[in-house]
Structure 1
Amino acid sequence: MSQIAQEVSIDLGERSYSIAIGSDLMGNTASYECLPRARTALIVSNSTVAPLYASALRAALAGRYAQIHELQLPDGEEFKNWETLQLIFDALLSNGCDRKTVIFALGGGVVGDMTGFAAASYMRGVPFVQVPTTLLAQVDSSVGGKTAINHPLGKNMIGAFYQPQLVVCDLAVLDTLPKREFSAGLAEVIKYGPISDMAFFDWLERNMDALIAHDRDALAHAVRRSCEIKAWVVGQDEKETGLRAILNFGHTFGHAIEAGMGYGVWLHGEGVGAGMVMAAELSRRLGLVDNGFVARLNLLIQRAGLPTKGAVLDAADNAGRYLELMRVDKKSEAGEIRFVLIDGPGKAMVRSAPDDLVREVIDACCA
């Protein structure tokens, strides 16, 4: 039975939409009543998620679309590229999909990002819906309209801002999520506390064990509060010209780890977990936070099952390799690396830092 426990709104004028959060939503027809009518729908998923959930989503959509096509992509961050993106375009064109076709992204962040990018590009824009099946996607990547694919030289470097029509966060699907993937999602939950809401950080410290145990009430609160914070930020700065950049706390270091290790070796959330520790340590060395805050964050990340040490990318000059990769990050400006730093607990800022100091932090956090 469908239980829409919460709804969070993304307020973007004519591009506004809702995030539905609750149990057993994905397979319920009522979850999709707000969507535009169309002749055709395409469900894009991957080889792991589709066998579990594609038939339930298809059944829920059957009365709404005369034709429902399915596409299974290979599973993994290493497939978030041009070649895999072309499979989506091939499916749309070979099935004669028109510009009213609704595309459903059923999967985690990789499926959501690629499907959104395809929707933004196909016939210059068709409607799409996010049905995230990982915790990371529910609290972060499915919300806010960032779509992209990776390039060998940088993560998410090719993409577009394109908002979905709806996001359906079904907490029940998290029960089938592998432990490592669930922990990776917790990284994106944890980040919201230091950048915006230390009361939420306090709550996470008290409830981390309940979250790891998949307590449904705890999960509902964590997903809702994460989406509320992201919705507020995106509503202020949809295309990341300023404020929205704070959502990248830990990501500058984390993206370097992902690219440097090879996509898929470290999960995105694992890179972000270690990246938050590195960003917090950089904040401390710049005099913005104290030792106690860094220790609290380190412990919470550790309790979530995430790495707190950065990866070694180059034995000869590890810090140099990090700096090289971070200079091609989207947040760099004129070759200057921009870091999201904690300017006191619950408040974030974006600024540069001297290379020598960043080297010290990398050496300390990768030892």
Structure 2
Amino acid sequence: MTRVLEQTVPVTFRYAVHFTHGLFQAHNPVLCTALASATGEPAKVLCVLDGGVSQAFPDLGARVAAYFAAHADALHLVAPPLTVPGGERVKQEAGWVRAVQDAIHMHGIDRHSYVVVVGGGAVLDMVGFAAATAHRGVRLVRVPTTVLAQNDSGVGVKNSVNAYGKKNWLGTFAPPYAVLNDLTFLTALEDRDWLGGLAEAVKVALLKDAAFFAWLEEQAGALVARDLEAMEYAVYRCAELHLAHIAGAGDPFELGSSRPLDFGHWAAHKLESLTGYALRHGEAVAVGLALDCTYGALQGMLPETDWQRVLRLLLALKLPVYVPELGTSAQDPADPRGVLSGLNEFREHLGGRLTIPLLTAIGHATEVHAMDADVLRRSVELLRDLHDQPRGASWLPTPTLAS
């Protein structure tokens, strides 16, 4: 006789994404309100800072300490902030996860305490992984400091570090307790990071919102000129679209074989690895978007006029559409040194059969389960030719797809 016991475990996660200025100014209530303890006792907090952010804001550690001192009745900072390296290095070196876990252990951070992490996407990923694996998960409060982290990676449910030469190979699905976007941090970004994060805004607009894509076209000049008001809207709308997909698409923990918000990412992740992470994530995503849109247009899926709009916008935002490492796609798809091997790595990362989102129009996408290597190579050649052309204000992609 066979017996089966079936169990259903419904779990609802709820977290807020706040948008503010001057998060660590004593009069700003956002952080204190978000961490307020239901017991009436001061909430225990461990703070981790991105070293790059600390360099840009040398008084950040002192400001954090002063904020907690001003709210000592509600918050208890268990130690001076722990500083870790910024950038992809922190996800490459396993010792930093252990350093955060050691601090969680040393200072008695439990499931009713908080880890507050202030930094770019890589630091958020690493600290999130450490927090999710300590006590099977302690409360994580993210304070993203880059465009890309505030509009995409910082508002989602994933945490990760790199391993085996692959991006995000180790990780967890663990929603944050809260996300606090302090838009003031964006003012210190160098242009590469200010603009690079907009690749994710272009991506989600292409997938979800043609009107937002048109707004990005209209505001490209203002965004390049570092207009903060324009950037604030771009960050807010991009985050809103990402959150709507995470909550409403029915698969926030990626149990299926489809991952629409990773449009353009199969090539992007591989390009980051091939460049030793000299190519930043947003820049790699821009190249990945250009490649997949060109492929879709060559396959007759995406109208040529829409393809031209995509490339014009990427270039208007000073984002790359080609890098020399993309040329490695001419190699064998089984060769890990070539971009085409990223397709299989993408499939392995998610499991199941290969599923790639491609556009049918701006604001609309479909899925394919195979990509033609010869068409991909032609796409790369076309992007290389376009990259090499001189461009002016009235630039249009030529040669056309028919040439």
TM-score normalised by structure 2 residue count: 0.81
Q: Which residue of 2 aligns with 1:296?
A: 309
Report the CA distance between 1:192 and its aligned residue. Answer: 1.6
Letter in 2 for 1:76: G
CA distance in 2, matches of 1:26, 1:213: 27
- Contact 1:113 1:148 (8 Å CA) reproduced: yes
After TM superposition, list the pairs within 5 Å mapping 1:102-251 onto structure 2: 102-236=114-248, 237-241=251-255, 245-251=259-265
CA distance in 2, matches of 1:107, 1:219: 18
CA distance in 2, matches of 1:239, 1:318: 33
Q: Which residue of 2 aligns with 1:42?
A: 46
- CA RMSD for the aligned pairs? 2.4
CA distance in 1, matches of 2:141, 2:175: 9
Residues 65 and 304 from structure 1, CA distance in 2 versus in 1: closer, same or farther, beyond 3 angstroms?
same
Letter in 2 for 1:54: G
CA distance in 1, matches of 2:283, 2:240: 23
CA-to-aligned-CA distance 1:95-116 (integer Å, 9 cap, x gap) = 3333322011100101111111
CA distance in 1, matches of 2:234, 2:341: 35
Instruction: Confirm whether residue 269 of structure 1 aligns to residue 286 of structure 2.
Output: no
Report the CA distance between 1:339 and its aligned residue. Answer: 2.0
For structure 1, which segment, 136-145 or 330-339, has the greater mean C-alpha deviation from structure 2 after superposition? 330-339
Identity %: 30
Q: Which residue of 1 aligns with 2:98?
A: 86
Q: Which residue of 1 aligns with 2:366?
A: 349
Q: Which residue of 2 aligns with 1:256?
A: 270
For structure 1, which segment, 114-123 or 344-353, has the greater mean C-alpha deviation from structure 2 after superposition? 344-353
Report the CA distance between 1:295 and its aligned residue. Answer: 1.2
CA distance in 2, matches of 1:74, 1:267: 16
Aligned equivalent of 2:23, options 6, 22, 25: 25
CA distance in 2, matches of 1:315, 1:268: 18
- Contact 2:101 2:130 (8 Å CA) reproduced: yes
CA distance in 1, matches of 2:192, 2:309: 22
SS in 2 for 1:328: helix
Residues 214 and 334 from structure 1, CA distance in 2 versus in 1: closer, same or farther, beyond 3 angstroms?
closer
CA distance in 1, matches of 2:135, 2:50: 23
* Alignment gaps of 5+ in structure 2: 1-9, 386-403
CA-to-aligned-CA distance 1:279-337 (integer Å, 9 cap, x gap) = 10111122211111111111111121211114326769446411223311256666854
- Contact 2:36 2:75 (8 Å CA) reproduced: no
Report the CA distance between 1:261 and its aligned residue. Answer: 1.6
CA distance in 1, matches of 2:258, 2:24: 29
Q: How many equivalent residue pairs?
A: 355
Report the CA distance between 1:168 and its aligned residue. Answer: 1.1
CA distance in 2, matches of 1:292, 1:204: 17
SS in 1 for 2:223: helix
CA distance in 2, matches of 1:340, 1:57: 42
TM-score normalised by structure 1 residue count: 0.89
SS in 1 for 2:171: strand
The structure whose Rg is larger is: 2
* Alignment gaps of 5+ in structure 1: 1-11
CA distance in 2, matches of 1:313, 1:228: 31
For structure 1, which segment, 207-216 or 290-299, has the greater mean C-alpha deviation from structure 2 after superposition? 207-216
CA distance in 2, matches of 1:149, 1:162: 14
CA distance in 2, matches of 1:94, 1:328: 38
SS in 2 for 1:342: strand
Report the CA distance between 1:197 and its aligned residue. Answer: 0.3
Report the CA distance between 1:356 and its aligned residue. Answer: 3.1
